[in-house]
Amino acid sequence: MAGEPILSVRDVNKTFGGVKALTEVSFNLMPGNILGVIGPNGSGKTTLVNVITGFVKADSGQVLYKGKDLVGTAPHKIADRGLTRTFQVMRPYYSLPAYKNLIVPLFSPRARRTGGWRGGGRMGSRDTVAVDILEEIGFERESYVPYKTASSLPTGYLKRLELARCLALRPEIIICDEVFSGLSMSEMASMVPLMEKLQMEGITLIMVEHRLRELFRLANRVMVLNFGAKIAEGVPVEVMADKQVKEAYFGSEEVFSYV
């Protein structure tokens, strides 16, 4: 592939009290691509997300974003530079209505600098912009859903709200930590085109997932983690065929027929 990678992770290590959460993890991410990260429970996927976004400091190694090392940078500064994330356990502002949840990112320095969303204007009412983003992400505009408090929304909407929070920043990379988990089949089905749309708009995505079927449809490349180490990386077909991956992750061949 031509061009410079937008994000390049090099030899990242992280231990938690003797447990190796990440060992020598490296990968490159090209602009506009979708990278899928899979692995069994406890294989260090979420730790990787935390390391990249600055919520956890790597013991050693580099996270190069547009050529600059992010290790040791505060999470809010990383987000300010356009690298955002969703949380596996959803973290909305429960006491606020859904659209007011987006006021917080829209009020951030980055969003104010870049001028809001879609010509929402620098000083255009943030409430309108927020409702626009929610509509974009699949909230029905005319209904009362965007005005309900976040605590009363079902999981599907909360996942979307997480994504919307990232989008409000007009990011360059979004790292999605298990956006598909906990969704019903139909909710998932509507989520896939959404991700495709984001990719078409030029946003680079890292998707940490358990749902292989949807992920393999979306991802340009897939990386497999096991016990904190990278055991395979490549286009989905290659990874599916990899023997080591089958043994470590799937255990048997039969699961693959499902995929």
User: Would you say 45 or 110 has its CB closer to other proteins?
Assistant: 110
User: Would you say 177 or 233 has its CB closer to other proteins?
Assistant: 177
In whole angstroms, how close is the CB of 75 to other proteins at the nearest point? 4
Region binding other proteins by CB under 8 A among candidate stretches 47-55, 133-141, 225-233, 251-259: 47-55
User: Would you say 74 or 237 has its CB closer to other proteins?
Assistant: 74
In whole angstroms, how close is the CB of 144 to other proteins at the nearest point? 5
Q: Is 24 in the site for other proteins (CB under 8 A)?
A: no
With CB under 8 A as the rule, give the number of residues binding other proteins: 42
Nearest to 230 by CA among 58, 88, 45: 45
CA distance 9 to 226: 17
- When binding is defined by CB under 8 A, the residue of 21, 48, 134, 168 that contacts other proteins is 168
| Partner residues linked to 223 by β-bridges | 37, 233
C-beta neighbour count of 23 within 10 angstroms: 17
Binding mask 90-109 for other proteins (x = CB under 8 A): -xxxxxxx--xx-xxxxxxx
Per the CB < 8 A criterion, the answer to whether 236 and 36 are in contact is: yes
Q: Is 181 in the site for other proteins (CB under 8 A)?
A: no
User: Would you say 95 or 155 has its CB closer to other proteins?
Assistant: 95
Pick out residues in 142-161 that bind other proteins (CB under 8 A). Answer: 144, 147-149
Nearest to 210 by CA among 254, 177, 166, 236: 177
Helix (H) or strand (E) holding 207: strand 204-208
DSSP 72-130: T--HHHHHHTTEEE--SS----TTSBHHHHTHHHHTSHHHHHHTSSTT--SSS-HHHHH
Chain positions contacting other proteins, by CB under 8 A: 16-17, 50, 53, 55-56, 74-77, 79-80, 84-85, 87, 91-97, 100-101, 103-111, 126, 144, 147-149, 165-166, 168-169
